[in-house]
Every structure is written in C-alpha cells, then in structure tokens.
Amino acid sequence: MKKQLLALAAMLAVSAGALAADIKVVVSADQPGPVIHRNIYGQFAEHLGTGIYEGMWVGPESKIPNVRGWRKDVVAALKDLKVPLVRWPGGCFADEYHWRDGIGPRNKRPVKVNTHWGGVPENNAVGTHEFFDLVEQLGAEAYVNANMGTGTPQEAAEWLEYMTGEGNATIVEQRRKNGRDKPFRVHYYALGNETWGCGGNMRPEYYADLYRHWATFLKTPAHNRPLFIASGGNDVDTTWTEVLSKNVKHNFDAIAHHAYTFPSGKWEGKGAAAGFPEAEWISMLSQVKKIDDTLAKSRVILDKNDPAKKLAIYFDEWGSWYDPEPGSNPGFLVQRNTLRDALLAALHFNVFHSHAERVKMSNVAQMVNVLQAMILTSKDKLVLTPTYHAFKLYTPFQDATSLPVKVENNPVYKHDKFEMPGLSVTAGRAKDGKLYVGLVNANATQAAELDLQVGAAAPKTVKGQVLTAGAMDAQNELGKAAQVVPQPFEAKATDGKLTIKLPAKSIVVVAVEG
C-alpha cells in the first residue's frame, strides 16, 4: 500500500510539473543547421478569381494608383513582406495557358474562357511581360509554370527561349519588339501542375517519361538557366517523389508537392472559414503533423535515391481551403482569413524550417483574394489579413541558419477527438546576426509559460512581437477596425531565468538580446 501511494505521489508530481511552468525551451546556438531558404516564404499568384485581375492588376488606365497597371498599394504591402518569389500563372490554369496569348499589344490579345476557374473571360492582359514587371517591382524571383496538360514540348521550350534568349533569333527579336531588350531572369521553370489531377490525370511513371522527354529540349544561356521543377505528389502521397527521383535525371532540380488543409479533413464539405467551434480550430492546426510526416517520408526517399542531395522539395501550394464565401462565385475561391489561418501559417513555417535541408521553397496559396491570402481587396481598398502578419513576423527567418530547439514538457493540447503538441518552436540565426525564436501556442483557451534557454543559460532579454486576438476567428475586415495586428512583446530574465508567457492562440517571434 505504502509503495502504491509513493508511486501515485511521484506520478502526480510529474503531471503537476508538466501542467505548470515546467516547460523549457532550449536552443542550441552552437549547432548550426541548414539555411532556411528565403523562398520558404514564397507566394503563388494564379489567374483565378480576383487574385490577379482587380486584386493586383488594374491596368495602366485605372483611377486606382498603379505603376504600369499594378496597384501601388498592393505592391507596397507585398514589398514590406519581403516576398522572395512569385509562382505564376497557375495552378490548374497553367495547364490551359498558352503563353503566346499573353504577349504583344494588349488590345489585340485573344479573349478566352477561364474554364477551370469560374468560367469567366480571360483577356490575357497579364502575360509574360506584365508578370516580370510585377516581380521586378517586388524585387522577387520569378517562378514560371509551363503548360504540359494542353501544351507541347515545343511551346514550353519556345517560351523559355522567348524569355531568356540573347541572340537574333526571330523569337528573341519578337520579345524586343514587345518592349524587352534584356532577357528576363527566369529563376524557376516547372513542367505541368498537379499532373496527377487537373494537369492531365497522369500516373507518375507516365509523367516521369514525359518530363524526361520535354526537359530534353529546355535550353537557355548557361548564366540564365532556371532550376527545373517536376510536378509531384499531393497530400500524403509520396509515390511521385519515389518514381521521379528514381527515373528522372536531366534538367531536374526539384520536385513540387502540394497539400491543403480543410477543417473536415475532406474535400467535400470542407468547413467554414469563420464562426467555427474549437473542434474545427484544432482539427485544422493538428493536420500540420501530416505535412511534417510526409516531408520526413519524402526525405528518406530522397536520401536513398539522391544521396548527393541535389534535389530539393518545393512545397509550392499549401494553405487553408474552406467552403466558398456565401454569395461569391464558387470558382473564385474567396474565403475569410482569421487568426486560425495565421497560426496555421506559422505552424507550416516551423515544419518547413525543420526540413530546411531539402525544403527550399514553399508557396502559400494564394497571394491576393484567393484561398489563404495575404491581402484582400475591394475596389480601391485593401486589408492585410492575419496570415499577412504571420508572414511579416517571420521575415527574420528568411535565409537564417536554423538552430536545433528542444521543448521539454511540451503540454498536449486536446479537444474533441483531436490532439497535438501545445507548443511549436523554431529558432535561427538571422542575417542580421541576431538569434530569433518563433513560438506558437496552439491552445485556443490556455496560456502557456515557458523558460527559455540558449544552451545552458537564460538570455537577459527577448524582444519582438505577438500576434493574437480575443476570438479564434478574429479577422481584419474592410471598413472595420482590424482585430488581428501584431503587438510589441518583451520579456526579461529574473534570478537567472527568462520566462515567456504565451497567450492562448498566439504567435510570438522574438530576438534574443544579451
């Protein structure tokens, strides 16, 4: 009996400790890991709904202030975010896009139907030259996704030649005639999108052969060679990673992967963007584990098939996807953006950082007005979403050197039938020389207290910003006071301990000082 009581007392002591302030976060600053590529903070802009037209492109004649057609306010907000690269023109749209429709005088470009997204007219006002003007205004890199679904190897090869060619070939002269003497700098070039689905319903073996065939003809001057991307798997499917990494060799630098998150976990009846119960808060956030697991599995495959580590994983579509906003065109993928989306983004970042050795790019879907957008616009107004602020908070991690982090006594957050680690933490030595820590408290109702150590010692001070709000679905709406905006955050050590108090449902990014 006495033995049993002692065992019970010991168990209570342990669990009481875990529930109280025994959480310890230890950063190993002396064990630098791989660099967190800035392109992990990449964006995706597709010809879809008002993602490009209206949202960013208003045309040079518009009363909305613009530079050569691109909205000044949107470009300024995106520049503030240090957008490192933009993927264009799709998505599913890419496999129905013919680049020649988008060059030459705009009033002569053909009007087509955007059959994939909403059945609306596509007037091709934004084409190759306009896209490069946008990325050059942003100071971002260009990721061009070629059409493999309804295109030809010749069309894909000629687009590349049009953009990068230097001599006096007729196609290069055509680019000059269209206003661009200097070649465009194409950093990334992909063949097809979601070729397992909207891009052609292919099998990975078939696509691998097709990729080998098409990639043979992709030629550029050596100093303007893009990194070439093969379209890969979806969600937890790593078969594409296996088949492609085993069978493709030439002009092959990265495998794209996509995974979206729906509250219900299902494509049909995804769930609402706002006005949801806590069960749908945690169901969304806990799904990030699936991405972590899939990346871990993909890395094992790549380490086997590509031990020299030449191939990268580009997670070039991810984010929340909800039922369409009532009253909107369902093909426009309009959705609200709440605090939940900001935390979902930060959890993705932490996972991508932990796989930085192979994950060298990710593109949130999408940049403006579509799915998990950074910016929502209406006529000449715009609003910065909670997701925008999550991206902004994490900018110091662009090109930072990742550092290992251990979370001791990480509390388990449980609700309904779901559970996940309560805290997610990442750390890196940024380009400014400072050590940054990013912390997410996923728990919707309980704050967390943790002690931070760098090696064996507590830092003197941490300073940064916190993003949180009163409601799980707090959002920033046009014409209303913003509910989700970063606030200053600071903690100081006392008695050799630095305790950080994370509010419930919050993101904190701090620089360690002293």
Supply the minimum distance, in Å, between the C-beta of residue 397 and ligand AHR.
24
Indicate which single residue of 147, 193, 231, 245 sits in contact with ligand AHR (rule: CB under 6 A).
193
Q: Whole-angstrom Cα distance, residue 88 to residue 99? A: 12
Indicate which single residue of 122, 133, 161, 194 sits in contact with ligand AHR (rule: CB under 6 A).
194
Catalytic residues, by residue number, are 194, 317
* Residue with smaller CB distance to ligand AHR, 350 or 369: 369
Indicate which single residue of 25, 92, 134, 157 sits in contact with ligand AHR (rule: CB under 6 A).
92
Span near ligand AHR by CB under 6 A; candidates 63-71, 184-192, 364-372, 411-419? 364-372
* Coil, helix or strand at residue 148: coil
Supply the minimum distance, in Å, between the C-beta of residue 46 and ligand AHR.
5
* Residue with smaller CB distance to ligand AHR, 126 or 400: 126
Q: Whole-angstrom Cα distance, residue 426 to residue 428? A: 7
Supply the minimum distance, in Å, between the C-beta of residue 324 and ligand AHR.
12
Supply the minimum distance, in Å, between the C-beta of residue 505 and ligand AHR.
26
Span near ligand AHR by CB under 6 A; candidates 86-94, 209-217, 435-443, 478-486? 86-94
Residue 466 binding ligand AHR, by CB under 6 A:
no
Indicate which single residue of 163, 218, 347, 365 sits in contact with ligand AHR (rule: CB under 6 A).
365
* Residue with smaller CB distance to ligand AHR, 145 or 220: 145
Is cis: bond before 455, omega within 30 of 0? no
Long-range contacts of 103-107 (CB under 8 A, 24+ apart): 103/127, 103/128, 103/129, 103/162, 103/174, 103/175, 103/178, 104/178
- For helices 128-138 and 153-164, angle between their N-to-C axes, nearest 10 degrees: 50
Amino acid found at 240? W
Q: Whole-angstrom Cα distance, residue 321 to residue 396? A: 27
**DSSP assignment string, 169-197:** -HHHHHHHHTT--SPP---EEEE-S-TTT
Q: Is 180 exposed, middle or buried (0-12, 13-18, 19+ CB in 10 A)?
A: middle
Residue 118 binding ligand AHR, by CB under 6 A:
no
Residue 55 binding ligand AHR, by CB under 6 A:
no
Indicate which single residue of 27, 37, 39, 46 sits in contact with ligand AHR (rule: CB under 6 A).
46
Residue 435 binding ligand AHR, by CB under 6 A:
no
Supply the minimum distance, in Å, between the C-beta of residue 19 and ligand AHR.
41
Indicate which single residue of 130, 141, 317, 473 sits in contact with ligand AHR (rule: CB under 6 A).
317
- Calculated CA dihedral for residues 208, 213, 218, 222, nearest 10 degrees: 80
Residue 42 binding ligand AHR, by CB under 6 A:
no
Supply the minimum distance, in Å, between the C-beta of residue 193 and ligand AHR.
5
Residue 96 binding ligand AHR, by CB under 6 A:
no
Span near ligand AHR by CB under 6 A; candidates 275-283, 345-353, 363-371, 399-407? 363-371
**DSSP assignment string, 320-374:** E--SPPTTS-GGG-----BHHHHHHHHHHHHHHHHTTTTEEEEEEE-SBSSSS-S
* Residue with smaller CB distance to ligand AHR, 40 or 365: 365
Q: Whole-angstrom Cα distance, residue 475 to residue 345? A: 15
* Residue with smaller CB distance to ligand AHR, 46 or 133: 46
CB atoms within 10 A of CB 137: 16
* Residue with smaller CB distance to ligand AHR, 374 or 437: 374
Closest-by-Cβ residue to ligand AHR is 91
Residue 255 backbone dihedrals phi, psi, to 5 degrees: -115, 125
> Which helix H or strand E contains 17, and what residues bound it?
helix 2-19
* Coil, helix or strand at residue 392: helix
CB 27 within 8 A of CB 427: yes
Residues near ligand AHR, by CB under 6 A:
46, 90-92, 193-194, 317, 365-366, 371
